[in-house]
Structure 1
Amino acid sequence: MDDTWDCLTLSSACQNAIKDLKFSKMTPVQAACIPLFLQNKDVAAEAVTGSGKTLAFLIPIIDRLQKREETWKKHEIGAIILTPTRELAIQIEEVLQTFLKYLPHFNSLIFIGGTSVQADVEKFYKNGGHIIVATPGRLEDILNRKNSLINMANCVKSLEVFVMDEADRLLEIGFEATLNTILSYLPKQRRTGLFSATQTNEVENLIRAGMRNPVRISVKEKQKAANVIQKIPSTLTIHYMICDHDEKLDQLVQFLRDHKNQKVMIFFSTCVSVDYFSAALAQILKKHSISAIHGKMRKKRNKIFSEFRKKNKGFHWVLQYDPPSSSSAFVHRSGRTARIGNTGNCIVFLAPSEDAYVQFIAMNQKVPMHKYPKAVIEASVLPKLKLISQKDRAVFEKSMRAFVSFVQFYAKHECSMIFRLKDLDFGCLATGFGLLKIPHMPELKKKQITNFTPVDIDVNSIPYREKSREKLRQQKIFDGIVDEKKKYKPKVVAWSKNKNKKESKKKRKENKKLGQKRKIDEMSAEDFADLKNLDDDYRLLKKQKKGKISNEEFDKQFTGSVEEM
């Protein structure tokens, strides 16, 4: 396959934009998808994260919109690009602007959270938008809204191209119903492109529902040494570090000190953990520039992300402080570095009881991982973290909420066969979070907590560092609005309510079992066999770990099971 741009008949605008972007030749996914898109085919492409998918759909969009004989009206939407996150939408819009600066008669708009829906509609009414880059929830709101200014549903009737980028992530984070609503507004006579890093049953259902006889493309990369197909770029190396929960923060801080001139992205399990650890790191690493961003932020989120992107180009390292709840999210997060031929590295921190995750990812996602050595820590930062909490109530409260949210995250982890709550050392975890005391929570009921020493202070006396906030707190205590002594005690619920709650929980559990049974009944024989093989592989891993079988016996049985799959 010819991977030079000369093999395509592109407009001067596209040629100039490609020169500006400094892409000398096409990536495999671009070489496979662009010619088909230009031939008016629907395309369903599976390619590793960071393989250059953006140009694979932007160039055909520009080409198709330029070729229409009728002049595009101000409020006619010719193309929609749907992405799972605001950050990805912003990145796509930036690349799109490189093309549109050579096409002044075309307009684009970005529809994402952070502003009101009405503000987006007004912006569209004033400026128009032939190409829309949007997140699903915002686009659904705009299409559903009956607006006095303009009927947005009418504006998509001339749509030429609809693209779903990172479709597996769109479905994974619960946008299936939203996508169906959006598709109901779009004309049937359109070209559709679906791009994903992983192929799931949900993606397959979306292909059948939203595309007409698509050409399926699967662009894989081979690991040269073992000739194994993998789902990450060949320029990306994924590491894992085995360390106890009370060592993680020290290892993270030391890593950041050792890589202070490099751009690093750190993923935590919950929004509250992002708030807490970013506040803590900002005080521990005062010479570092630290930005925090998560899904519950509104206006600040877009601004912070834009500022972060301006600092340097590309991420040198991605650190996954906690293993994400799904294996596909692990691949997507890792792929934030090593994009379009650039080298990159990722580290995931694992506790000793979680080491089977390495083999799980290797089997489930075909992603090899390499052990990363722990750094020698001369002085722990945990005592300093406790002092920070003692001086600022805001940090203390964040630490408590972060701990609770992590335990809840752990309890609901998709890979529950590895991340088991009963294996979690709560005392060691609390120490690693720099807690002054352990909060009351149902998961800790009747648990014997070891490896934790509470600080001998009255936590109710800890003030807010912000004087105005502390003054308000003291006033509320004086007025009897807040009783600090009761703030961290479990709530006593009436017996009748507890009974109703238990009955409701029991019913939900029964419904869940029925749903799981129905899913198994609806499974194809092939799907059921895959599920069984995965379960067998995990049991084999457990036997090897406990010394019940030798390494040679494990290799023999495991290789046999993989060949059968």
Structure 2
Amino acid sequence: MSRHDASVSPMAAGPWTQCIDASLNVLESLGFAQMTPVQSSTIPLFLSHKDVVTEAVTGSGKTLAFVIPILEILLRRETPLKKHEVGAVVVCPTRELAQQTASVFQSFLDQQPAVEEAARRVAGVQLCVGGTRTTPSEDLAFFREHGPDVIVGTPGRMEELLRHSGVRTSELDVLVMDEADRLLDLGFTQVIRTLLSYLPKQRRTGLFSATMTEALSELVRVGLRNPVRVVVKVELKQRGASGGRDIRMPATLSSFYHVSRPEHKFAQLLRLLQYESQGTTGARKSIVYFATCAQVNYLFSLLARLAKTHDPRLQGLQFFSLHGKQTPKRRTSTFSAFAKAGKAEETDTAGAAHATMQVLLCTDVAARGLDLPDVDLVVQYDPPSDPKVFNHRSGRTARAGKHGRALVMLHAGREEGYVEFLQIKQLPLQPYGYVCRHAQGALSIAEEPAERDTDAHALEEAMRATVRRDRALYELGLRAFVSWVRAYSKHEVSYIFRLTDLSLSGMACEFALLHAPRMPELRHWQLDETLFVNEKVDQNSLAYADKQREKQRLEALARQAASPAPAPTSRRIPTEAWSEQKRRKETRALRRDKKERKRQWQQSQAAQAAEAEVDDDIDIEDDESEEERAPKKQRKAVWDTSEKDTAFFEDL
């Protein structure tokens, strides 16, 4: 594989006229006057019948690096594509990224001249993603009706469409896999190989990603012919050094790390969001990453409830939530609402106007590929379990040459070694001080107090008071804490992120729990009662704020009190957080019970068969004719082949 290196600084790398001419008007209207280094390096290679593997920092313009050559290749064809022929396929790991890529294609296609004014046109682009109201059969019907030249989608739905004989891929010119390493990480390897079998070998293939993995290298060897590798990095000039060194982040990104004790961490998150919006940076949009979906769900619900009390610690902040367990419709609407959210202004009771910061609470579902050019700040509340995801998260800001700030929040103690770990990974970070809130509400950078931060403690008490008023928040909090413990214990950098090195009391304060859940993972933790004291929660009196849910709970309690005793096989309604160990024990016990019942059933069937053989050996007179015995034999054959399995599984 040949190799071509380029630099991202400066972002401008020459005019578009060096390699293209058909899309100049659209590029100028979109504000792209100059190419970026990844575009100037990749597009000429793509247009000269080369397969490319492009590894570039986030926000460097990789999408246009394959959209432009795809359109140019299709427009330069000697023979136009027929209605049911596909010219280009773009595979994306998530529906959000596929929708975004398809919209970029559509912005170019909308600027095409009319049919009578142009000798060549790209017929259109089709989006094929799962989790929507569109079914695979409707995708096929759309293709047959409109005959698009470009198809953009996720692997599963793409494979559903391409396997139909009515979709002709023999004339395909280009295959692109965007965020190719993520496609393999999500387990799409076999689907990708199936897709490759549907496509002609004589094609141009492009793999685009911000990181290169061993699995991706294997895919390169299988699916590409003599590829050229394009690597775009940033050169960091160090003072006092004769040379520089390469880093894996955009040159316009400022990266920081913040350290605080667990009991102060969540208060610090809210303070630094307000500090960044009110300071010289004037941040207006930010993304905050958490480890699990349950954390996002709990904290968003808690902050939404707390905001209704007009708590000054949330002043100027508007929250959105996005995670993988939301419905596709909810994910799409949330992403769209956050992307379109403008620089709104609120007016407080004194009449003074101040800008609002839009804050997206999310998991790694929004960590890769998504283009949100207006994001000013990225906060990694929980460091990612996979270190490769770190720069993908940070890359949601400082895109297309704009300046941005990224910050990772660490617990004081052993986690501070993560800074040196990232330094080795060519990701240098600067320290970000402790944000203090003064009596008048002003924020400033200072040292973390040795004693308990009174304002952080007041926020914790306000959050607990909110939890006490709603059983749903209480249950969400326990579930969020358990999910975080499980995720933290599986961190890939386990020699830095050790569960036993954290304070159980501090983490309970951070999650605003009423009591710490009982789970095997916490058996080595000791509770510091000077910092956190378990409350005795009356499970019967703790009510849901939702009247319908509370009515159902009370009815269930009434039925339970009226019944003499629960059946041995009835499922107990848990009143505390579950653990993985307890679930596995219950599953094993259920499996043993099923196996024992199946063994007994098989023995009874064998005994009946033996009795039938003995009866056949006894010579007795049978008055039934052959015609009368035939239906019985037929019924017996059906029972022997299928009904015995049906009866067994229904019994279970």
**Is the Cα–Cα contact under 8 Å of residues 286 and 376 in structure 2 kept in the other structure?**
yes
Matched, 1:475 2:536: no
Q: CA deviation at 1:246?
A: 1.8
Q: CA deviation at 1:436?
A: 0.9
Partner of 1:358: 419
Q: CA deviation at 1:432?
A: 0.4
Pairs within 5 Å for 1:404-443:
404-443=482-521
Matched, 1:252 2:261: no
Partner of 1:277: 299
- SS for the counterpart of 1:279 is helix
Amino acid paired to 1:213: N
> Any idea what the Cα deviations from partners look like across 1:37-93, whole Å, max 9, x if unmatched?
111111111111111111110110001111223332333221122222222223222
**Among 329, 345, 348, which residue is 2:408 paired with?**
348
Q: CA deviation at 1:141?
A: 4.4
Matched, 1:94 2:103: yes
5+ residue gaps, structure 1, are 145-149, 502-565
Identity %: 41
Pairs within 5 Å for 1:100-119:
100-103=109-112, 105=121, 106-116=123-133, 117-118=135-136, 119=138
5+ residue gaps, structure 2, are 1-5, 7-11, 115-120, 278-282, 309-315, 343-372, 439-454, 561-569, 593-652
Q: CA deviation at 1:207?
A: 1.1
Partner of 2:213: 200
Q: CA deviation at 1:489?
A: 7.1
**Is the Cα–Cα contact under 8 Å of residues 19 and 44 in structure 2 kept in the other structure?**
no
Amino acid paired to 1:356: G
Q: 2:578, 2:232 → 1: CA distance? A: 54
Q: CA deviation at 1:138?
A: 3.3
Q: 2:341, 2:435 → 1: CA distance? A: 27
Amino acid paired to 2:264: E
Q: CA deviation at 1:219?
A: 1.2
> Any idea what the Cα deviations from partners look like across 1:412-453, whole Å, max 9, x if unmatched?
111111111222322211210011112222212354333432
Pairs within 5 Å for 1:101-500:
101-103=110-112, 105=121, 106-116=123-133, 117-118=135-136, 119-143=138-162, 151=165, 154-225=167-238, 227-260=244-277, 262-285=284-307, 288-297=317-326, 298-312=328-342, 313-352=373-412, 353-364=414-425, 366-377=426-437, 379-380=455-456, 381-445=459-523, 447-450=525-528, 451-480=531-560, 486-488=575-577, 497=588
> Any idea what the Cα deviations from partners look like across 1:98-120, whole Å, max 9, x if unmatched?
21112375211222233154344
Q: 2:385, 2:578 → 1: CA distance? A: 29
Partner of 1:559: none
Supply the RMSD in Å over aligned alpha carbons: 2.6
> Any idea what the Cα deviations from partners look like across 1:326-349, whole Å, max 9, x if unmatched?
111011010010011011111111
- SS for the counterpart of 1:276 is helix
**Among 33, 45, 52, which residue is 2:54 paired with?**
45
**Structure with max Cα Rg:** 2
- SS for the counterpart of 2:262 is coil
TM-score, L = length of structure 1: 0.81
Aligned residues: 493
TM-score, L = length of structure 2: 0.71
Amino acid paired to 1:295: G
**Is the Cα–Cα contact under 8 Å of residues 114 and 301 in structure 1 kept in the other structure?**
no
- SS for the counterpart of 1:222 is strand
Partner of 1:77: 86
**Is the Cα–Cα contact under 8 Å of residues 250 and 398 in structure 2 kept in the other structure?**
yes
- SS for the counterpart of 2:388 is helix
Q: 1:6, 1:41 → 2: CA distance? A: 19
> Any idea what the Cα deviations from partners look like across 1:372-401, whole Å, max 9, x if unmatched?
111014522211111121112222111111
Q: 1:220, 1:9 → 2: CA distance? A: 22
User: Structure 2 vs 1, CA of residues 31 and 493 (structure 1 numbering), >3 Å: closer, same or farther?
Assistant: closer
User: Structure 2 vs 1, CA of residues 474 and 369 (structure 1 numbering), >3 Å: closer, same or farther?
Assistant: same
Q: CA deviation at 1:143?
A: 4.3
- SS for the counterpart of 1:212 is coil
User: Structure 2 vs 1, CA of residues 204 and 496 (structure 1 numbering), >3 Å: closer, same or farther?
Assistant: closer
- SS for the counterpart of 2:90 is strand
Higher helix share: 1
Q: 2:15, 2:551 → 1: CA distance? A: 65
User: Structure 2 vs 1, CA of residues 483 and 362 (structure 1 numbering), >3 Å: closer, same or farther?
Assistant: same
Partner of 1:513: none
